[in-house]
């Protein structure tokens, strides 16, 4: 299905609309969007703007009023909904684990419905628990009530990956966890996505989460009208209008720090100093800065050495310069193209 065994596939939305009975205006109004294969695209917008409804139409938990949806070139609306959903991973904030099933049984449910042999299911459960950093021997036979919130979310992600779907839909999956657990889950998920390269639609109301996780971001107005669709760097550097700028807020420079991790900074001092605050691989420069401020120290220890406040600022400045050069290059190319069009029209 979707011409893929595991790798992400493209998603196309064409004039997608949803009007619920009794409503005078559509909840989702004429959305057209192309989502590249293997990318995580974050849907971000205020509560009630229609981002979750848009996402739920992709796996037909909500049936569209009109429009087209294609996944890997295949018409989603021509498929049986149950068959479709077994080939799309789905993770929600409430997790949705079955309380009467063990962790292993929850993860293996979709493969069982697909008719996988028991031995293959057992192997897949072991593989996925290890992938989300839960020891199979410890957690496989536990019930959801015996897990912490963060552990339950890890199991929810593992269950969504169980049948190796090319597409995953994630609706504020880390929103119900505490800030520390949420940060850990985000960092782990960034690493996981780099390895798996699924096509993911990630719904969030948190712009900083969208920056950290998204290859691209869709900023939505009411009724899921698209205000801007671009990379995090381009949206931060060039918001499309006052609405997008307002959504970013006044600390765009600080938010840019979330585009880089400590792994991107080459430390002059490569020693490991256990007396300094420790930051693991994958920590964003924004998180490293927060740790420096909280600890009162202008240094922290990353996997590549001692990261100083000065080095952090220099890395951020280099990022801004790269964005400016890219933006200038885009403007030059656009101007040249407009000249070519004008010349051909003469």
Tokens representing 43 are: 């849907």
Q: Pick from 11, 70, 74, 14: which is nearest to 38 by CA? A: 11
Whether this prediction's pTM lies above 0.85 is answered by no
Task: Note the pLDDT tens digit of each residue in 298-342.
Answer: 999 999 899 999 988 888 777 667 666 666 665 556 556 656 655
With pLDDT > 70 as the criterion, what percentage of the chain qualifies? 90
Q: Which CATH class is domain 11-250?
A: alpha beta
Task: Note the pLDDT tens digit of each residue in 95-133.
Answer: 789 999 999 999 999 999 999 999 999 999 999 999 899
pLDDT of residue 249: 83
Measure the CA–CA gap between 232 and 215, rounded to whole angstroms.
7
With pLDDT > 90 as the criterion, what percentage of the chain qualifies? 62
Measure the CA–CA gap between 168 and 38, rounded to whole angstroms.
10
pLDDT surpassing 80 at residue 78: yes
Q: 44 - beta bridge partners? A: 204, 219
pLDDT of residue 210: 94
Q: Pick from 219, 235, 278, 243: which is nearest to 45 by CA? A: 219
Task: Note the pLDDT tens digit of each residue in 266-278.
Answer: 888 989 899 999 9
Domain boundaries, the chain: 11-250, 251-346
């Amino acid at each position: 299905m979707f011409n893929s065994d595991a790798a992400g596939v493209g998603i196309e939305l064409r004039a997608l609309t949803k009007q619920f009975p009794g409503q005078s205006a559509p909840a989702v109004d004429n959305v057209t969007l192309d989502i590249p294969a293997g990318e995580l695209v974050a849907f971000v917008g205020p509560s009630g703007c229609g981002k979750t409804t848009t996402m739920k139409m992709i796996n037909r938990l909500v049936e569209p009023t009109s429009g087209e949806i294609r996944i890997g070139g295949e018409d989603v609306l021509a498929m049986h909904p149950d068959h479709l959903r077994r080939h799309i991973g789905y993770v929600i904030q409430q997790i949705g684990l079955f309380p009467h099933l063990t962790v292993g049984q929850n993860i293996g449910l979709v493969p069982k419905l697909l008719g996988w042999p028991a031995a293959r299911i057992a192997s897949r459960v072991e593989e996925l628990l290890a992938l989300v950093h839960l020891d199979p021997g410890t957690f496989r036979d536990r019930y959801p009530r015996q897990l912490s919130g963060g552990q339950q979310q890890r199991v929810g992600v593992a269950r969504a990956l169980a049948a190796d779907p090319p597409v995953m839909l994630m609706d504020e999956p880390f929103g119900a966890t505490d800030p520390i657990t949420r940060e850990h889950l985000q960092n782990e998920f960034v690493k996981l996505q780099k390895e798996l390269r699924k096509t993911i639609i990630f719904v969030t109301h948190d712009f900083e989460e969208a920056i950290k996780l998204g290859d691209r971001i869709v900023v939505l107005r009411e009724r899921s009208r698209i205000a801007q669709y671009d990379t995090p760097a381009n949206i931060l550097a060039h918001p499309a209008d006052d609405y997008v700028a307002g959504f970013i807020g006044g600390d765009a420079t600080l938010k840019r720090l979330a585009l880089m991790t400590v792994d991107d900074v080459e430390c002059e001092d490569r020693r490991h100093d256990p007396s300094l605050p420790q930051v693991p691989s994958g920590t964003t420069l924004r998180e490293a800065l927060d740790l420096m401020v909280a600890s009162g120290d202008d240094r922290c220890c990353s996997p590549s050495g001692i990261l100083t406040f000065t080095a952090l600022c220099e890395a951020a400045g280099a990022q801004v310069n790269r964005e400016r050069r890219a933006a200038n290059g885009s403007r030059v190319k656009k101007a040249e193209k407009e000249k070519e069009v004008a010349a051909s029209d003469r």
